A and B are shown apart, each in its own frame.
Chain A
Amino acid sequence: MLRLHPFRYHRPETVAEAVQLLAQHGQEAMPVAGGTDLLPNMKHGLFRPGHVVSLNRIGELRGISTIAPPSNGHRPGDSFVRTTGATGGTAGHLRIGALETLHDISAHPDVRRRFPGLAEAAGLVAGPQLRNMGTIGGNVCLDTRCTYYNQTAFWRGALGHCLKKDGDTCHVTKTGKKCVAAHSADTPPNLIALGATLTLAGPNGRREVEAADFFIADGIRNTRRAPGEILTEVRIPLGRPSARSAYQKLRQRKSIDFPLLSVAVAGDFANDGSVASLKGVVSVLGARPRLLSDWEGLATGKPLNAGVIRDLAHRAWQQCRPLENVVGDAGWRRAMVPVCVGRALEKLAGLGTRPDR
């Protein structure tokens, strides 16, 4: 039996009210939506907020809608037409409210049609009950995970605690002074590959952050979300009809488990089938998903055939070095980098892949 510590539970109905509550209670407060990660962490004594601010009654944080490109350039009153974000131009985008559940995202026809990689990733998070509860906002803001962190207080205490919580030693790197707990969420690699923009609301109003800039390589706090801010929505540029995406997740069981490695790829193809653009993101390495570099050039202008996929997978392997921060031998996980990248690219190319998920 794992008990929660006593706290006050707030249920604001607007973003402004939620932000005000978080500001009022400062470090004593934490926001919660689906609770599927925060509650186990509180039960493990990793967080003890005196005030829990539930976002679940805020209607503004719901909804999945396709916002078509404006027919005549900027139209006053179109709140989405902003100049700051990459999606703020004339391309049109899909808006997903932060409170939408992972199940609803995985089942939504527009998400499945336009962003199959994201739909698949949302449908592979944990198990069915947790996908009915967990939200995309929570998935994006998921705390990093580590063998030495996601444990009971008794377990952590027996080892003398770690850098991320109550201690000064990293049991993964032994000597390092930087926390390397793993980014373990399934949807963010896809959002990065798809060029999504995140909107945050805080005491100073709203701001937008590119998904690619949202994560930082610090396992203790791996996002640019300030403690008093809440994520309100995710916007994904629609891209051309020929754009495709795919996701590949490595884990021990086909359900429940967090990823041991994850790969999101997104690309666009010319009329002759050759690659016009390609992005790849590998995660569960350290605290930040890794956008593969010097990668696209291996494929642009070429058909995405077995040879090109092999080159891309090898380049990914050169850049990705999993650590002993989650279950599963790091050497094996590294050996699986080219395998998973290759499978994701096979899906992207429509070559078909073994039905192993």
Chain B
Amino acid sequence: MEVVRLTVNGDERVCGVPAHYTLLETLRYGLGLTGSKQGCDKGDCGACTVVLDGKAVLSCLTPILEAEGRHVRTVEGLASGVEPHPLQDEFDLHGAAQCGFCTPGILCSAAALLDREPSPSREDIREALAGNLCRCTGYEKIYDAVEGAAARCRA
């Protein structure tokens, strides 16, 4: 068992987990943060995407000890209190979530994009979400929602 300290959504967290746990397993089973989804669990689907020190990464392939001392942002950390993040609001308005399983990962990929590029082109958005599989929507509503959120973040 390892004692690991990391910052999750702005809060310093300490948890005891085995060294072979991934960041995803620590979030879900150690910290009770089940927003990040365990999809393929081998790096194909993107449902487990979180933002690690500003970059979108796959938490299912991140050994927990690699996250020690670093800043993790998950879907639970996007909203400000009861106020949803513009991405979440725009996903709602555009109907960009259907079954919703891929949504937390897509929101995290999109949040990392908007943090580094406030005015992304449609192609930038497509590229940033190219590692997130959605089998319901066909992506167009998702791209619309990210464009809408980018415009609101700039306003």
Q: Is A88 at the interface (CB under 8 A from chain B)?
A: no
Bound-state Cα–Cα, A255 to B44, Å:
10
Contact B128 A128 (CB under 8 A): yes
Distance in Å from the Cβ of A271 to the closest Cβ of chain B?
Answer: 36
Extra pairs beyond A130-B58, A255-B130 (14, CB < 8 Å)? A2-B42, A4-B20, A5-B20, A9-B63, A40-B43, A54-B66, A128-B127, A128-B130, A130-B61, A132-B55, A133-B61, A133-B62, A256-B44, A256-B133
Q: Is B84 at the interface (CB under 8 A from chain A)?
A: no
Distance in Å from the Cβ of B136 to the closest Cβ of chain A?
Answer: 17
We find that the number of chain A residues with CB closer than 8 angstroms to chain B is: 30
Contact A39 B57 (CB under 8 A): no
Q: Is B87 at the interface (CB under 8 A from chain A)?
A: no
Q: Is the interface of A mostly helix, strand, loop or mixed?
A: loop
Distance in Å from the Cβ of A253 to the closest Cβ of chain B?
Answer: 9
Bound-state Cα–Cα, A337 to B17, Å:
49
Interface, chain B (partner A; CB < 8 A): 2, 18-22, 38, 41-44, 46, 49, 55-58, 61-63, 65-66, 109, 127-128, 130-133
For A32, A127, A132, which residue has the most chain B Cβ atoms within 10 angstroms? A127
Bound-state Cα–Cα, A6 to B19, Å:
7
Contact A133 B58 (CB under 8 A): yes
Contact B58 A129 (CB under 8 A): yes
Chain A residues, Cβ within 8 Å of B131:
126-130, 255-256
Chain A residues, Cβ within 8 Å of B22:
4, 39
Residue-wise, chain A 307-347 has the 8 Å CB interface mask toward B (1 for contact) of 00000000000000000000000000000000000000000
Contact B49 A129 (CB under 8 A): yes
Q: Is A254 at the interface (CB under 8 A from chain B)?
A: yes
> Which residues in chain A, 5-61, are within 8 Å of chain B measured between CB atoms?
5-9, 11, 32, 35-36, 39-40, 43-44, 52, 54, 56
7 A-B pairs with least C-beta separation: A127-B131, A255-B130, A40-B42, A2-B41, A9-B19, A4-B20, A132-B55
Q: Is A1 at the interface (CB under 8 A from chain B)?
A: yes
Contact B130 A39 (CB under 8 A): no
Contact A11 B61 (CB under 8 A): no
**Which of B18, B61, B127 makes the CB contact (< 8 A) with A39?**
B61
**Which of B21, B65, B109 makes the CB contact (< 8 A) with A128?**
B109
For B18, B63, B133, which residue has the most chain A Cβ atoms within 10 angstroms? B63
Distance in Å from the Cβ of A324 to the closest Cβ of chain B?
Answer: 22
Tell whether A35 pairs with B130 under 8 Å between CB atoms, given A44-B42, A128-B109. Answer: no
Q: List 21 A-B contacts (CB under 8 A).
A: A1-B38, A1-B41, A2-B41, A4-B21, A5-B20, A7-B20, A8-B19, A9-B65, A11-B65, A39-B63, A52-B63, A127-B132, A128-B56, A128-B128, A128-B130, A129-B46, A129-B58, A130-B43, A133-B57, A133-B58, A255-B130
Interface, chain A (partner B; CB < 8 A): 1-9, 11, 32, 35-36, 39-40, 43-44, 52, 54, 56, 126-130, 132-133, 254-256
Chain A residues, Cβ within 8 Å of B133:
256
Tell whether A56 pairs with B58 under 8 Å between CB atoms, given A39-B43, A127-B131, A256-B130. Answer: no
Q: Which residue of B lies closest to A41 (CB)?
A: B42
Bound-state Cα–Cα, A254 to B44, Å:
13
Chain A residues, Cβ within 8 Å of B109:
128-129
Bound-state Cα–Cα, A130 to B131, Å:
8
Contact A132 B56 (CB under 8 A): yes
Bound-state Cα–Cα, A6 to B119, Å:
44
Bound-state Cα–Cα, A43 to B20, Å:
11
Chain B residues, Cβ within 8 Å of A40:
42-43, 61
Chain A residues, Cβ within 8 Å of B55:
132
